[in-house]
Chains A and B, each alone.
Chain A
Amino acid sequence: MTVVIGSTDIHDYGKEMIKAMCNAAGAKVFDLGTYVTPDEIVENLLETESRAVVISTYNGIALSFAREVVELLAKNGLQAQLILGGLINENQDGGSLAVDVSEAVKALGVNTDNRMEDIIPAVRAAYQA
């Protein structure tokens, strides 16, 4: 079982927690670090064949980011499950405040359960799918 992890911004606390949990669960973790881009995720999936990508986000870009990752996964014929955690929000409809976009992200097929204790089962599920 291998997992690609990263964060969309400078905040890496959540990513480090996920890394520790995945390591403890016996997964091989490929840590892309902070400020990861959708392209980087897909290129690394092509190299690792990981079925799960766990991304931590905090900077109000959750929906745009998830949408681009999902599009790139489809374009490259990749089956990996995107698991997005942290602050799943983004400005919507020209508003000046970021709002929760969990449902919209979930509708893309992304796991937005956002619970640390559910991460490992979700990664395992990606390998059983």
Chain B
Amino acid sequence: MIPKDLPNQVVLIDFGSTYTKMAVADLKTRSLVTADHFPSTVATDARLGLEQCFQAAKKAMGEKAFRASMKLASSSAAGGLRMGVIGLSRTLSIAAGRNAAFGAGAKILKTTSGRLSREDMEELAALPLEIILFCGGYEEGGTKVLDHNIEMLAQSRLPMPIIYAGNSRAAPAVRRAFSLSGKEFYVVRNILPDVGEVDKVQVENIIRDVFLNRIINMKNLDKVAAMLDRLVMPTPASVLRAGELLALGSPSREGWGPVMLIDVGGATTDIHSYARPAAYEGAKMVGAKESFAKRTVEGDLGLRESSNSLMAEIGLAEAAAETGLKETEIQAVIERWLDDHDLLPVTEAEKKVDRLLARGAVHISARRHAGRIEHISSAGVKSVQHGKNLTEVKAVIGTGGPLIFSDNPVAALGSALRKPELEPDVLLPAQAGFYLDRDYIFYAAGLLREIDEEAAFCLMEKSLKGVA
């Protein structure tokens, strides 16, 4: 049921660093009216790309309907939202902080654990970070390491906003030290209030708010604000919310159940999973509690800007054996792509390398995202589960240009599956159906979910095409 004050059609925009994308959704028919994309103009004047999108929308829906439509937008422009996470222990506050940052749409360039050292501070200062998430400690726990880290941050020249989401006992010291040193900072609820608990709603919201209010302005998107009803959220957060809706279902439609969404790009590979946290075959679950909707971003795994680091992970010798190409041929292809990120594969060698990189990006990033079983002997329990159990995932969905336009998407998506006999402790599904988001609609569905879940769900289902 559409609320009375909503228009019939909604124009959904995404300001990406490569393209400004547009989709028009009809809320009555719950279908896509049109979708298009134009080269991004965010680096110069974001209004130009938006105007092109609006012209295309007007052509499809008519001037009157366009004027009456609601216009919502997301943004991932200029490399997205780059964050650093400062925490205490690897499996608890750091894991919770990283999950929250990813969930809010960020990519993480640096993580530190325990007491901040001078080297940590130098590395943080050298990176183009836009927000630092500072967390650690349960409520009523000790604050000695937090106090040290507060001083290190206060004395630093780090210019970016700092979000404090740790033990509230240290919050007065955060306020005092950061105020005196002139930091922009936000204090929110502890992300890790007690053993076995994670509270990341407030920290995710503040990350999105800081992103939209401060960083979008810096990225030359301020000029478009007046042309839109609302800049809603970072694109990855929008995609995460769309996938969650698909898995859970809308009020009148049954969800798909546990699913994975894979977005392979030129610079990064994003993995989203939607599954209730569950123990695999009675294993003891350890570490920060996982959330139903989880996103991870691998900044070193991509088909163009990150093709070098991805190839290093795959291994040149393995790549040569798998493709039948010489190592020098593979290196030459990688060098061309590093020089020009927009090149598409043309020669047979380039196509082979492209396919190999897509499979590799999915294979490695899925395993970094998923949980695993560790067998131990010195404790009362024999197997311990680190991370999220995705063995019950029934559908693996590919999105992003390299997968949607791949000549063999099944091979790439299939790399997300585990081979039970070779990797019994990897908590990925052994079998699943494969789908492609052929209209590249998830960002739009996430935005649309804010106002009409039924339409958002239908838009996704209509876009998804099974591949076998």
Which A residues form the contact surface with B (CB < 8 A)?
Answer: 2, 7-10, 28, 30-40, 42-44, 46-50, 57, 59, 61, 64-65, 67-68
Contacts and interface: CB of A to CB of B under 8 A. Distances in A.
Contact of B92 (A37, A43, A50, A67): A43
Interface string B75-97: 00000000000001111110000
A65 B379 CA distance: 6
Contacts of A46: 88-89, 92, 113-114, 145
Contacts of A61: 378-380
Interface in B359-380: 376-380
A32 B362 CA distance: 35
Nearest to B166: A47
B345 to A, nearest CB: 44
B138 interface: yes
Interface of B: 88-93, 113-114, 136-138, 140-145, 192, 194-196, 284, 286-287, 376-381, 384
B142 A49 contact: yes
A38 B141 contact: no
A50 B89 CA distance: 14
A43 B379 contact: no
Contacts of A68: 378
Contacts of B286: 37, 39-40, 43
Given A37-B286, A40-B286, A43-B89, A48 B380 contact: no
A83 to B, nearest CB: 17
A71 B86 CA distance: 25
A46 B140 CA distance: 14
Nearest to A11: B380
26 contacts: A2-B142, A28-B140, A30-B194, A30-B195, A31-B195, A32-B195, A33-B196, A37-B284, A37-B379, A37-B381, A37-B384, A39-B91, A39-B384, A42-B89, A43-B90, A44-B92, A46-B88, A46-B89, A46-B145, A47-B89, A48-B141, A49-B141, A50-B141, A64-B377, A65-B379, A67-B378
B141 A2 contact: yes
Nearest to A28: B140
Nearest to B381: A35
Contact of A47 (B88, B144, B379, B381): B88
A84 B315 CA distance: 47
Given A37-B284, A40-B286, A47 B141 contact: yes
Contacts of B141: 2, 28, 30, 47-50
Nearest to B145: A49
A37 B90 CA distance: 15
Given A2-B141, A28-B141, A30-B195, 11 more contacts: A30-B141, A33-B195, A37-B376, A40-B286, A42-B89, A43-B92, A46-B113, A47-B138, A57-B380, A59-B380, A61-B380
A42 B379 CA distance: 14
Contact of B142 (A7, A34, A50, A57): A50
Contacts of B287: 43
Nearest to A46: B89
A33 B286 CA distance: 11
A56 to B, nearest CB: 11
Contact of B380 (A2, A10, A30): A10
